[in-house]
């Protein structure tokens, strides 16, 4: 409530809560991160520059003011992706090796087949 008093006596009481924050998940004209964080989360365009290092580049700040806007995000490397690709590569190499060995043994057997002997 906005309360106006004159000499200790209340002369006006006005509910401004719905003007400051109507909780509609939209950052409206009178709402800011400070008055309505539900509608205007950090990093939203609300007319207020929050230049803290908080992980959000505030679009309301001039260039060079918010330190979060200066940093380039570091690319995340997914170790599980690289690990999976390595395992798949090892499996493929082993499969090629085993198949080529089987193929070379079937073309050039190391021992002649053991046929039963016949007496003449």
Distance of CA 37 to the CA centre of its chain: 22
Q: Are residues 12 and 67 in the same domain?
A: yes
pLDDT in tens, 61-72: 999 999 999 866
Q: By C-alpha distance, which of 47, 19, 51 is closest to 32?
A: 47
| Residue-wise pLDDT tens digits, 9-61 | 999 998 877 677 888 999 988 889 998 899 999 999 999 999 999 999 999 99
The residue among 75, 73, 29 whose CA lies nearest residue 48 is 29
Q: Which residues pair with 6 in a beta bridge?
A: 9
The pLDDT value given to residue 8: 93
86 and 53 in one domain?
no
φ/ψ (deg, to 5) at 36:
-155, 75
Q: Are residues 32 and 86 in the same domain?
A: no
Tell me whether residue 13 is in a domain: yes
Q: Does residue 112 lie within any of the structural domains?
A: no
Whole-model pTM: value is: 0.45
């Amino acid at each position: 409530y906005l309360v106006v008093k004159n000499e200790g006596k209340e002369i006006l009481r006005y509910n401004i809560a719905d003007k400051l924050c109507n909780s509609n998940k939209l950052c409206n004209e009178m709402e800011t991160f400070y008055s309505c964080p539900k509608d205007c989360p950090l990093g939203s365009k609300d007319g207020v520059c929050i230049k803290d290092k908080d992980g959000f580049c505030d679009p309301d700040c001039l260039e060079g003011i918010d330190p979060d806007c200066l940093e380039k995000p570091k690319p995340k490397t997914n170790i599980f992706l690289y690990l999976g690709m390595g395992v798949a590569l090892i499996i493929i190499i082993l499969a090629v090796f085993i198949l080529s060995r089987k193929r070379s043994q079937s073309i050039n057997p190391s021992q002649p087949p053991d046929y039963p002997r016949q007496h003449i």
